[in-house]
Amino acid sequence: MSSSFRSQLDCPAIPQGQNSMVWSQQSEAERPALSAILPRLYLGAESDVTQERLASLGISYVLSVSRCSPQPSFLPCSRYLRVPIDDSLRDELLPWIPQALHFIDAAMSSGASVLVHCAAGISRSPALAVAYIMYSLGMDLDHAYRFVKERRPSISPNFNFLGQLQHFQGTLSQKASGGRLHIQQLDDRLPSIPDSVTRSPISQNVSRQGDGRGGSGAARHTRRTGVTRSRGGRDARSPMEVAGGRFLCQGNFRLFV
């Protein structure tokens, strides 16, 4: 880890040892405003998910990095994805990265804007935003972290997530022939979403297909990300539509060609 990245960690948004959930007990005025990380990619808190706020920014997709934040009634299931992890030193971020990247990529590729949020927009959702910047802009963890922090200074992903992002950086360094790794190839190199989680009612919009560990590569891919691969390894569905745990095709758009 570089010295510049360490210096960022030495200045967290909240005191060391305190849980980022303290923001949920503070007034709206004390919380950081919703932040634009890229054109059409926003980072924020659970309190930002209001119909008026999202409409004012043209946001029509929401990725919630939380086990219990309510799904907004005004948002179709097809435009909502939950990554059910806590801000803890034991929860696994890596297995969810391919599915989260696909959701963000598909939404943005369709011309839509997406909000990634957790309870306070400090630890869990920034960790996924950093992962997306690493993947989409080809940055290492140090530069991606600083890229996001410059746009949302309050971020402070916990050390568990930072360690997993270092692992993700190593995965990204395994270049595919002719360019960067596609999301499906990342999925083959990262841990699987636990079967117990994919069967949990808490985990909305997560594929419940397949349970066998010895299945085909396509079956393993479906279990991990909920995206069914074609024989050529490409995904035939985008924008990604999720309903009742299944991804639905919208027209003939292909994300990876």
pLDDT at 16: 36
| DSSP SS3 for 242 | strand
Determine what percent of the chain falls in helix, strand and coil, rounding each to the nearest 5. Answer: 40, 15, 45
In a domain, 216, yes or no: yes
Instruction: Look up the pTM and report it.
Output: 0.65
In a domain, 118, yes or no: yes
Given the residues 68, 77, 118, 249, select the one marked as catalytic: 118
In a domain, 226, yes or no: yes
Taking only the tens place, the pLDDT of each residue in 180-196 is 656 555 555 555 556 55
- Residue 104 to residue 216: CA distance in whole angstroms: 26
Residue 77 annotated among the catalytic residues of the structure: no
Q: Are 117 and 44 in contact (CB under 8 A)?
A: yes
In a domain, 87, yes or no: yes
pLDDT-derived band at 96 (thresholds 50, 70, 90) equals: very high
Taking only the tens place, the pLDDT of each residue in 8-48 is 444 333 333 344 444 444 445 555 689 999 999 999 999 99
Expressed as residue numbers, the domain containing 234 is 33-248
Length of the chain: 257
Domain CATH for 114: 3.90.190.10
> What's the token pair of residue 42?
């926003």
The number of folded domains in the chain is 1
Average of per-residue pLDDT across 131-140: 94
Cα dihedral sign, 104-60-33-84: negative
- Residue 123: exposed, middle, or buried by beta-carbon count in 10 A (0-12, 13-18, 19+)? buried
In a domain, 173, yes or no: yes
In a domain, 26, yes or no: no
Whether the per-residue pLDDT at 237 is higher than 50: the answer is no
Q: Are 159 and 63 in contact (CB under 8 A)?
A: no
In a domain, 185, yes or no: yes
Three-class HEC string of 79-140 = HEEECCCCCCCCCCCHHHHHHHHHHHHHHHHCCCEEEEEECCCCCHHHHHHHHHHHHHHCCC
Q: Are 32 and 42 in contact (CB under 8 A)?
A: no
In a domain, 183, yes or no: yes
